[in-house]
Structure 1
Amino acid sequence: MIIKKYIGKTEEAAAELARQELGRDAVIMNVKKNIPKGLAKFFRKESVEVTAAVDELVLEESAKDVPDFAKLQEAMRGDVAPAPDSKAAKAEAAKRVLAEKNQVILEEKESVREKPKEETEAQTNAIEQKLSDLQKLLEKQVQAAETAEKEKKSGKKKKISDKNKAYLRLIRSQMKNNEVDEIYIEQILEEIEDSIKNDASLDNVLSGVYQKIVLKIGRPHLIDLHAKKKKYIFFIGPTGVGKTTTIAKLASMLKLSSKAKVALVTSDTYRIAAVEQLKTYANILGVPLSVVYSAGEMTEAFEELKKYDLVLIDTAGRSHNNKEQKEDIHGLLETVPEEEREVFLVMSATTKYRDLVKISQSYSEITKYSLIFTKLDETDAVGNILNIRMLTGASLSYVSWGQNVPDDIGKVDAQKMAKQLLGGNS
């Protein structure tokens, strides 16, 4: 694993410097803003420092002057599934590359026909040597791919040193303490085993696992003011997880920070306190609130709210085991065309994992969604967030803690979460 730091005016500029040196496989592991203090702020501008990492094997492959075997290499690394007839596909790919090279060689031969005989023969021999070397290289690549495929089918794995096994046991224990499901722990560790060198240090092994977790968590999917069509934002989930407070926090953030024109709608008429709570927030923020009792009233409310940038919709907490209540939620969602709505499933980080599984799978039956987790201040373990992300494939978006509006909410920070899962400072 190669880890380097790059400094640029913006995060994008620094990340581009990293990709230029380390290649497109480089992963951004940390981002830090450098803000000059004291007198220095008059002479130096703000900058962004990114820490990027790349596997040494990937870097070495990208540095070689060889034909583009990107797809083959991806298959060898296990990044893509092999084709049904992988051997035939590889042979066909090799033939195509050879055909292209043959064409180039023929053109080179044509260009030297008019030259003196000795020079022509020397160049022809050089060209034929190139072709021979290329063919050997292709055969070697195909053979390596076939060997890797056979080993994969037979279950044969790279032998891991006792030292690395000890490191992985430590990491496995730490992730388990953070309540990451054993299935996902093994999946993550198996994916990095082949890239770990036998003489790797604990820092290198830890860095590989950290990088893999960051990739698994992914970039947060946030409410996008520029996506004009996605203006109706529904918040669904079980009762008691903090949907109403979460909506108030997001409305405050969008109105105060982004100057968005926000409107609120609530269909949670089962709890009078919920309506009053949201009405209080709406009055403080100076935004309109519509209370609806049915899908028909929801449609009428939307007609009056077309001039707003975003409409945030609170729904009643429903039992994921109640089929009729799930149908009510589905009916409300259907009042808005799919291309004009976004849905966020709000769940508490304190809920037991098996219940989170049932809740997420139940709502998956009626709609696609992104994930919001609340009450992070009430738990020390965040493994369930990674578990549900990997179980559902749904994007993580926001996390919240405490009752302060609008302060106690933020986007999911993959780097911070990965550090926490591995026992680092969060």
Structure 2
Amino acid sequence: MIIKKYVGKTESEATEEAKKELGQNIVVMNVRPLKKNGFFSLFQAQKIEVTVALEEETERPVTRTLTPDRNSKPVGRNPLVEGSQIDIVKPVIKVNKSPDIIDEGSAIEEKLDNLSNLLEKNIKFNEKDDVKDKALEPEKETTSKASPSGSDISDETMSFIKLLYNTLIENEVDEIYVNQLTDEVEKISKPGMPFDFALANVYQKMVLKFGKSEPIEPIEQGQGPRAEIFIGPTGVGKTTTIAKLASELSVTQKKKVALVTVDTYRIAAAEQLRTYASILEIPFRVIYSVDEMKQVAEDFKDYDYIMVDTAGHSQHNDELKSDIEAYIRTLEDLMDCENYLVLSATTKYRDLIEIADSYSELVAYKLIFTKMDETGAKGNVYNMRMHTGAPVAYITNGQNVPDDIAVFDAQRIVKNLLGGKS
């Protein structure tokens, strides 16, 4: 199977271009307008991007190689995901460093790009407000300069602490974790210490707290199969996420992948996964019992990955939770397994805690956050990492398969949480 993208002034023009190269048997998978960037985009005509797939029996070697384009930012794609030239894209989920995150060893201020300037402007603005407040309440001036421990902290650092607190709270980082970060800034503060030193310290601490992302581990030929099991509540996008990852593994990495679902409650979800399996030309099974799961393990013993979709359920549904646990334990007895708890970034923090705690009773898991494009406050990603201790594997930022998914990048999300541009 070949999956490519073509750009034209109209859908017809892009489709015709695809037919010229791939033939008349192409299948149009997605159509969307490309976002126009920059000042001169006002004078540019709208362009349409068409994603097509080709199922062919004859060999058709792919001669073009993927090359990172640091300047292009297609709509719906995470700019950290590797891309190709604008006329052709293969589904890739590997992360490439963005232009604003540079190699290790460089100064922290460079890694944060223009974030320092942004904070500096806000600090100066806040300092003006502080001067007005002090004029009205001169007796409070003395206490504002000292930390709870009595050590001197510069006005600049105090303004930074105030700004840091407000920025993280606005991004819905839990106040407990915000106070931990501001307390650490106070501990390292010294008279005359510039705020950018405190900023660098906070940035580094948050990145370290996130830790290294842990996506699906590569598997060598003959070492499989490994079960990749996806758990989580209803409506968070588990099925679409599985399709995106299956596309990466089977099309890009050329691995043998099988799709399995134990979600017999939602026919639409099973049919959706069946459709993706058909497009990707990989096997698909619906499982109704533990014995059938054992048979799947036997039938696909020569495969690399068996990707398992589970039924979404309320964290209070103990019966369904018990059924899912039985399937997972069966697979664990037969092969290596990795579990992924899929959560929506738009879910309330209190509900996320209940969901995560409920699944923690079943298995150890890694985190996948979906719908990142549907919220401006991404603090829950940090909150859940801190609450569960589970590594974040992927984020998704749209419905397009296979494009809208990326390996989690801690530096990028921390910059966003601190008020920088993502």
- TM-score norm. by structure 2 comes to 0.64
The 5-angstrom pairing of residues 135-214 of structure 1 reads 156=149, 158-214=151-207
CA spacing shift, 1:393–1:159, aligned 2, 3 Å: farther
CA distance in 1, matches of 2:386, 2:305: 29
Match of 1:258 in 2: 253
CA-to-partner distance for each residue in 1:240-297, whole Å, 9 max, x for gaps? 1000000000000112222211111011111110111000000000110011011221
Contact in 1 for aligned 2:250/2:257 (Cα 8 Å): yes
Partner of 2:356: 360
Q: 1:226: Cα distance to partner?
A: 2.9
1:395 pairs with 2:386: no
- Separation in 2, partners of 1:322, 1:49: 46
Counterpart of 1:267 in structure 2 is: 262
The amino acid that maps onto 2:238 is K
2:404 counterpart (405, 408, 413): 408
Quote how far apart the aligned CAs of 1:156 are: 5.0
Structure 1 runs (4+) deviating above 6 angstroms are none
* Mapped pair 1:249 → 2:244: yes
Mapping of residues 210-359 of structure 1, within 5 Å? 210-226=203-219, 228=223, 231-337=226-332, 340-359=336-355
- 1-structure distance, mates of 2:191, 2:271: 62
Structure 1 pair 213/334, CA: closer, same or farther in 2 (3 Å)?
same
Residues 76-115 of structure 1 correspond to what in structure 2 (within 5 A)? none
SS of residue paired to 2:330:
coil
**What are the Cα deviations for residues 280-335 of structure 1, in whole angstroms up to 9, with x where unaligned?**
00000011001101122111111101111111000011111111111111111111
Query: CA–CA distance in 2 between the matches of 1:212 and 1:180?
Result: 15
Give the partner amino acid of 1:364.
S
Task: Find the counterpart in structure 2 of residue 374 from structure 1.
Answer: 370
Larger radius of gyration: 1
Deviations 1:117-174 (A, max 9, x none): xxxxxxxxxxxxxxxxxxxxxxxxxxxxxxxxxxxxxx95754333312111101100
- Residue type matched to 1:264 in 2? L
Q: Secondary structure at the match of 1:366?
A: coil
- State the alpha-carbon separation in 2 of the partners of residues 230 and 408 from structure 1: 26
Please report how far the alpha carbon of residue 203 of structure 1 lies from its aligned counterpart in structure 2 after TM superposition.
2.2
Structure with the bigger RCO (C-alpha within 8 Å, sep 6+) is 2
**8 A Cα contact 1:349 1:376, kept in partner:** yes
Q: Identity of aligned pairs, percent?
A: 50
Letter of the aligned partner of 2:105 in structure 1?
A
Secondary structure in 1 matching 2:188: coil
Q: Provide Cα deviations, 1:200-249, integer angstroms capped at 9, x if missing partner.
A: 22322222111111111111111012374671010000011000000000
- Aligned partners of 1:268 and 1:314 also within 8 Å: yes
* Cα RMSD (Å): 2.5
Which deviates more, 163-172 or 370-379?
A: 163-172
Cα distance in 2, alignment partners of residues 363 and 230 from structure 1: 24
Q: State the Cα distance separating 1:194 from its structure 2 match.
A: 2.6
- Judged with a 3 Å threshold, the aligned counterparts in structure 2 of structure 1 residues 159 and 322 are, in CA distance, closer, same or farther, namely farther
Distance 1:414 1:189 in 2: 19
- For structure 1, which segment, 256-265 or 361-370, has the greater mean C-alpha deviation from structure 2 after superposition? 256-265
Counterpart-to-counterpart distance in 2, 1:190 and 1:158: 13
Q: Deviations over 1:80-106 (max 9, x none)?
A: xxxxxxxxxxxxxxxxxxxxxxxxxxx
Instruction: Report the number of matched residues.
Output: 285
The structure whose residues are more often helix, as a share, is 1
TM-score, normalisation: structure 1: 0.63
Q: Quick check: 1:225–1:309 contact (8 Å CA) kept in 2?
A: no
CA apart distance, 1:384:
0.3
Distance 2:151 2:308 in 1: 52
- Give, in angstroms, the shift of residue 52 of structure 1: 3.2
Distance in structure 2 (CA, Å) of the matches to 1:416 and 1:241:
22
Query: 1-side partners of 2:233 and 2:152: how far apart?
Result: 47
Quote the offset at 1:196 in angstroms.
3.5
Residue of structure 2 in register with 1:141 after alignment: none
Ranges in structure 2 where 5+ consecutive residues have no aligned partner: 1-79, 83-100, 109-147
- 2:43 is matched with which residue? none
SS in 1 for 2:259: strand
